[in-house]
Structure 1
Amino acid sequence: MVGAGFMGAAHSQGWRVAPRFFELPLAPQMSVLVGRDAARTSEAAECWGWTESATDWREVVARDDIDVVDVVTPGDTHAEIAIAALEAGKHVLCEKPLANTVDEARRMAAAAESARARGIRSMVGFTYRRVPATTFARDLVASGRIGEVRQVRAEYLQDWLSDAEAPLTWRLQKERAGSGALGDIGAHAVDLTEYITGQRVTRVSGVLETIVSERPVLAASSGLSGSAGSERGAVTVDDLALFTGRLDSGALASFEASRFRTGRKNALRIEISGSRGTLAFDLERLNELELYDATEPESEQGFRRIYVTEPSHPYVGNWWPTGHMLGYEHGFAHQAKDFVEAVGSGEDPRPSFADGLHVQSVLDAVSRSSDADSVWVDVD
């Protein structure tokens, strides 16, 4: 695994736990953790369960004893690492968004397609597809439970940047992150909408806003650690993204991605309205779905809450007894499970790098729309 930050901890949990709760066709061995700082990476490797640590990902990718490369670095390095790993014959799992630009994503998708012909698999880490409630919502929509999809509202709301004196980190720098709220969390809203509805966003109209234009620079290190000094640096990404999208069917979807919604900690919320009913999901209540059945008698209509904790629900049967809740980290175990099963069976895992390229194209279209006073822009 290349990257030893927050996502490194989350992915490590997935790799460590998945083979202990699911019968996998292959046994993942957590061999090498790669990071820039030798001492901190060594400590993280020991803490998270990796056999060894390293600082040069190129040397690790070239090793014969490595079969899988998991990329959890900032977006500016995704393309270089993933393409090199695929060309070296390694299966690749890459965190979202796939890249910082459409051009990088295209090159990654092309490399994945070339590797696929040699039996090498690749997948993008849109982990929220693996929350049992969202997978179940996808199944309900596919079965026609809410009828024809007419309207979607998707939003990902956080408040961790609402303090204007919070320090400048790599996530606020375009050259490292590619975009701000749009790519960091808006990508999840786009992917989850497409995953649950089975449709793609074809056109968008949007606006991007940078609410705080400069922040204190960290005095030490470029991560989330270190203290803020007196120097200030420019924020070069968006803090807020608002856009409307048109789906394949012609249905409209509204999207919001904000890291300034005070009081919202990690609220990925989606509501899908159809001709027969509505489904609603909120990540801050990730074991639940809300279902409105418009076919019931008028006297009995209203949203009802479904606890997605039964053994018959996706993934849940391998965990705890009915009613014992799952958490954020379980999605990473489900991601590892699905990836290993696909590799073991010689099948293509989803979402693919091509899927990641599509989401990147949606994000790019939103950015171009904002630059052109919110005109409608077709998604490439």
Structure 2
Amino acid sequence: MAQDKLGVAIVGTGFGCITHLPAFRDAGFEVRALVGRDPKRTAERAERFGVPHAFTDLAAALALDGVDAVTVATPPHTHAEIVLAAVAAGKHVVCEKPFAGDADQARTMLAAAERAGVVHLLGTEFRWQSSQALLARLIAAGAIGEPRLATWLLHIPVLTGPDAEVPAWWGRAEDGGGWLGAHASHWIDQIRHTLGEFAGVSAGLPLVADRPGQTAEDTFNIRFRTVTGVEGTLQSSAGIYGPPLITTRVAGTHGTAWVEFDDVWVADANGDRRVETPADLANPDPVAPPSDLMHTAYDLLHSMGIDRAPYTKLAATFAALIHGDPVPDSPRHATFADGVAGQTVLDAVRASAASGGRWVDCAER
């Protein structure tokens, strides 16, 4: 039996319009309101995308008839206030990552959502990205034996040069800006989902590019160990010149699995082979958002539209959970509890970097 469309209010007019808005519509939601800080920009984007209500006051959106859910696509330092108001109003919530300012704040958000009895998901859309989902499934199925060594590497020159503009908040560490939260939070979630919880980290957070006034890092270099015994390295920079450098690879007792763009490969005693993507993990081709929405180098990270299809699956899972329908265990959705766990790792990374790279036990955090 067909169910009535769920109504959602989108908070944030940048990534909120670039990805959240089309993805939630693709998943069957009715976008009832757009909430932003700038009245003119918010009204213009609401009109452009056919959203019936534009607000700069979150309370007005929460009071609107037909709003069942809220999705939060704003800078990290604003998440807690928005999420706490939304769950207090009884709304189901999706919140972007990085989830909070720190793990204590994240625990407050989780506790509030649990008390309210609402569905709460973390915006980790790349759990549904085909290659990452397949990699996780293969490792869980024992395709490489017991995982022992993991390498995640990404160098992309998006923040180099004088024209590499970023939003003001992104350059400020105190506002949750920087490359650690923007990119490592995805990897941390993927590792937790694929290899187990983090036991500890040793890290550095340098600023490689010459960007006057920026206090947030454009690079992270993290050595980690999981509670399951995997040793690994996460290294990425958005502030270096040169061609992109990308590696995602996990080695185990019987083989190695790795990602090449959207393909997953396995090597073992029988040789190398590409693994076909099963139908349930396949995604349609990316749909690029309108180019005039791309104003900064940070926006351009989303210019190819690769996150729309995975985000649609996240939003569809969100809808199913709200309706009480069953959802697949693979990929498993991330809740605010995952937000707390991920934020704990981010806090440990920052603590390690601030102390010159000492080993920090994540359990102690």
TM-score range normalised by the length of the shorter chain: 0.7 to 0.9
How much does 1:186 deviate?
0.9
Alpha-carbon distance between aligned partners in 1 of 2:158 and 2:265, rounded to the nearest angstrom? 27
The reply to whether residue 58 of structure 1 matches residue 59 of structure 2 is yes
What amino acid is aligned across from residue 74 of structure 1 in structure 2?
Answer: P
SS of match in other structure, 1:209 = coil
Contact (CA 8 Å) 2:209, 2:239: kept in 1 or not? no
Structure 1 gaps of 5+ residues are: 20-27, 216-233, 321-325
CA displacement 1:282-338 (0-9 Å, x = unmatched): 5xx23x11221x141xxxx23x33353x53x4255xx58xxxxx9442111111111
**Alpha-carbon separation, structure 1, partners of 2:26 and 2:165:** 34
Compute the displacement of 1:100 (Å): 2.2
C-alpha distance 248-139 of structure 1, shift in aligned 2 (>3 A): same
Give 2:208's aligned residue.
Answer: 211
Match of 2:253 among 269, 272, 275: 275
- 2-side partners of 1:8 and 1:263: how far apart? 31
Match of 1:15 in 2: 24
My pick for the range that moved more, 56-65 or 239-248, is 56-65
Runs (5+) with no aligned partner, structure 2: 1-9, 286-304
Correspondence for 2:358: 375
User: Does structure 1 residue 344 correspond to structure 2 residue 338?
Assistant: no
Aligned AA (1:8):
C
Name the aligned partner's letter for residue 53 of structure 1: A
Q: Distance in 2 between matches of 1:278 and 1:255?
A: 17
1:174-222 Cα deviation digits (max 9, x unpaired): 232x14111111111111122222x01110001111224643xxxxxxx
Range moving further from structure 2, 79-88 or 347-356: 347-356
Contact 1:9 1:48 in 2 (8 A): no
**CA distance in 2 between partners of 1:53 and 1:252 (Å):** 48
| SS of alignment partner, residue 244 of structure 1 | strand
Structure 2 residue aligned with 1:187: 185
Distance in structure 2 (CA, Å) of the matches to 1:47 and 1:94: 24
Root-mean-square deviation (CA, aligned residues, Å) is 2.3
Aligned residues: 330
Q: How much has 1:242 moved relative to structure 2?
A: 0.3
Distance 1:354 1:156, change over 3 A: farther
Alignment partner of 1:306 out of 275, 279, 291: 275
Specify whether residues 205 and 329 from structure 1 end up closer, same or farther in structure 2 by C-alpha distance, changes over 3 A only. Answer: same
Measured after TM superposition, the shift of residue 65 of structure 1 is 2.6
Of residues 2, 10, 19 in structure 1, which corresponds to 2:11? 2
Query: Which amino acid counterpart does residue 198 of structure 2 have in structure 1?
Result: V
The offset of 1:91, in angstroms, is 0.1
Q: State the one-letter code of the partner of 1:280.
A: W
1:166 lines up with 2:164 in the alignment: yes
Query: Given the alignment of the two structures, is residue 366 of structure 1 paired with residue 349 of structure 2, yes or no?
Result: yes
Are 1:3 and 1:72, in contact at CA under 8 Å, matched by a contact in 2?
Answer: yes
Distance 2:246 2:203 in 1: 19
Residue 69 of structure 1 deviates from its aligned partner by: 0.5
Report Cα offsets for 1:70-116 as digits up to 9, x if no partner: 0000111100000110111000000111012222212112212222x
Secondary structure at the counterpart of residue 311 of structure 2: helix
1:353 pairs with 336, 341, 346, which one? Answer: 336
Question: Per the alignment, in what secondary structure is the counterpart of residue 291 of structure 1?
Answer: strand
Structure 2 equivalent of residue 130 of structure 1: 128
* Distance in 2 between residues matched to 1:55 and 1:97, nearest whole Å: 23
Helix, strand or coil for the counterpart of 1:202?
strand
Give the distance between the partners of 2:129 and 2:312, measured in 1 at CA: 10
Distance, in Å, in 2 between the alignment partners of 1:112 and 1:73 is 18
Report the 3-state secondary structure (helix = DSSP H, G, I; strand = E; otherwise coil) of the residue aligned with 1:153.
strand
Question: Taking structure 1 as the reference length, what is the TM-score of the superposition?
Answer: 0.81
Q: Distance in 1 between matches of 2:14 and 2:43?
A: 12
In structure 1, the residue corresponding to 2:23 is in which secondary structure? helix
Choose 83-92 or 153-162, whichever is displaced more: 153-162
Instruction: Give the distance between the partners of 2:64 and 2:306, measured in 1 at CA.
Output: 35
2:105 aligned counterpart, secondary structure: helix
Contact 1:157/1:259 (8 A) holds in 2: yes
Structure 1 counterpart of 2:318, one-letter code: F
Q: How many angstroms apart in 1 are the aligned matches of 2:243 and 2:188?
A: 19
User: What is the rounded CA distance, in whole Å, between the counterparts of 1:100 and 1:264 in structure 2?
Assistant: 33
In structure 2, the CA distance between the partners of 1:264 and 1:36, relative to structure 1 (3 Å rule), is farther
Structure 1 pair 171–131 and aligned structure 2 pair: CA distance change class (3 A): same
Work out whether 1:291 is the aligned partner of 2:266.
Answer: yes
The CA deviation string for residues 15-53 of structure 1, in whole angstroms up to 9 with x for no partner, is 12123xxxxxxxx21100111122221222233342221
Contact 1:141/1:196 (<8 A) preserved: yes
What letter matches 1:342 in structure 2?
Answer: L
Deviation string 1:323-379 (CA, Å, 9 cap, x unpaired) is xxx944211111111111121116798311111111111111111111112110011
Q: 1:175 to 1:51 in 2, by over 3 A?
A: same
Change (3 A) 1:239 1:71: same
Contact in 2 for aligned 1:212/1:235 (Cα 8 Å): no
